[in-house]
Every structure is written in C-alpha cells, then in structure tokens.
Structure 1
C-alpha cells in the first residue's frame, strides 16, 4: 500500500514513509468476520483499503443500531475504547471482504510526534468524525426518516449495493419495511 494514498495532501519523505510502513500492518478480513466485540479493549484503528465494514451496538432488547459504515479510504474503530482505553461498546463486522491497514494508538502517537504535519491529518480526521456524528445526531432528532435516508445516500453513495437493507434501516433507526416505503415514494417522485 502506498502510504501517500492515505495521507493525501501531506508531504511525507521516503524515510518517513518507511517508518509508517513499519508501524502499519495489512490485514485481510472476510465477509461475516468481526474485528471487535463489546467488552474487548482495542488499541487499534483500521484504514479501509478495500471492502465495507460497519460498527454497531446491540441494545438490551437485542435490536442492532448501526453507528458507522466504513468503505474505501475511511477509518473505523470503537473510538471510546481506542482513545480512552475503555472496554468497547461497539461491534465491528465485515460486510464485504476487506483489506485493512491496522494502526495502534501508540504507533499513531509516535508517528505524530516524529513526522511534521501528520498530527494535523489525524486531528482533521477526528474533527471530521466528530462533526459527522454531531450532524447525524441533530438529524436523528429533527429530520424525517425520508430526510435521514436522503442524507445517508449523500454520505454513502453507492453503498446500497454493498450492504443489506436491514443494516441501512438500523443506521437510520427505522424498520426495513419503512425503508422500502421511503424508497418507493422517492422512486415515484
């Protein structure tokens, strides 16, 4: 994997690219496998080279709530566990065979301390992640299911071919039947 593809827009010397290469591990994971389970502690975040994953939690009534989809060029983890060294509350499932780059928190911190500008990259990604979650929470509180679906399609173009309807419905906080009705309504208009 060309490290420059991950850190687009940041100048990284060949020496620093080699350093990052030594810190990042390439892993493959098959559809249906899990990277993380609730109760585990994770020290890793994952960059998606290819594939599709989701993070979700299951409530006390066994209902799944999808928190995030991660597709090519996205990062995924249970960030509460990753940053605070607490037990994970999320499960991460592979929805499509994937190639991932695994980076530990300690190695990320060392990379940030050593390579000028890379801390800005991770800060920007974290800020974007927080902003996306904030917009999603506000949308969940104030938008109709149809508006949330339209936001989903704009955020994750072409993902509908990769994931099951009930995954999308659980992301939107609606039933699969409601999702079907919304799609039919949009198709009619």
Structure 2
C-alpha cells in the first residue's frame, strides 16, 4: 500500500513537472511584442538598423523633436531621422477642435499590411505642458511604427493607464526589436 502511495505521488510530481516544462517551452516561442502590436501593421523593414524618417512641422516642433530624439536614444535599432520633406511619418500639430483626442495616429498609405506613410498629430485645442505634448507625440509616433497602447510604464500608456509617462521605455525597445529584427 505504501509503495502505491509513493508511486502515485511520484507520478503526480512527474506530471506537474512535465506540465511546467511544456508551458515554459511554449512561452519561450511567444513574441513579447505580439500583445502590443497595432493589428498586423508594420514597416517592410528588417535588420540591425531600421530607418524611419520623420517630417516634423507646426507650432510644437520642439516637443515633437524631443520625442523623436528620445526614440532614437531609447530604441536600440531605430534610426528615425528628421528630414524636411513629406516622407515616412509626418509629425505635426493643429487646433482640430473638441474632438475628444489629444493625439491621433493614422496610416495614410499602406500596401497589404505594410505601412508606407503615417501621420502623428497633436491636437493643440486641449493644451498641455511641454512634457505632456512630447508624450502625446511619443505615443502617436510609436503607433505609426505599428504598436498599440500598453500598460508598461512608458508613453504608450499616457492617458490610458496610471503608469503612463511622456517617454519611451525599455519595453518599447523590446517590442520594436522583437517586431523588426527578423521581419
């Protein structure tokens, strides 16, 4: 009787250990960025350096430029140059009125699920501090790279989660790297 109880315990422990091992293997194959993707939209770019140009104009260019530089300095493989022509992402402001949104990202041109051109807007109707405006640009620009809101303590949670800030964070770097390194 004691041998049966001991054998049953060992079998239960083995099954529990096997379940943990299988769950661990399945988790390793999952992409950490997949939960924060904005649908299937993404740029048709891959490799150790991703170049996405930003055309910044309007009355809050200093805040938009600060968001661009923060992305450059935080997201390891992203090179987001500021250029003076209508290019990959247009970043601008305007008084769009009482729309209910302080910032808005839109994909203006796509081919399949590849982004060809996007807009990142700040609605000056609602005002806000310089740091807040930078955060709005941070979030809207990252949307144009194909990412959704997230509660990860960075600008992608600004206005949606208590942990939202006005800056890119380590999680944005991880999401971007995982999405674009082998696309």
TM-score after normalising by structure 2: 0.21
Greater Rg over alpha carbons, structure: 2
Bigger fraction of residues in strand = 1
Bigger fraction of residues in helix = 1
TM-score after normalising by structure 1: 0.21
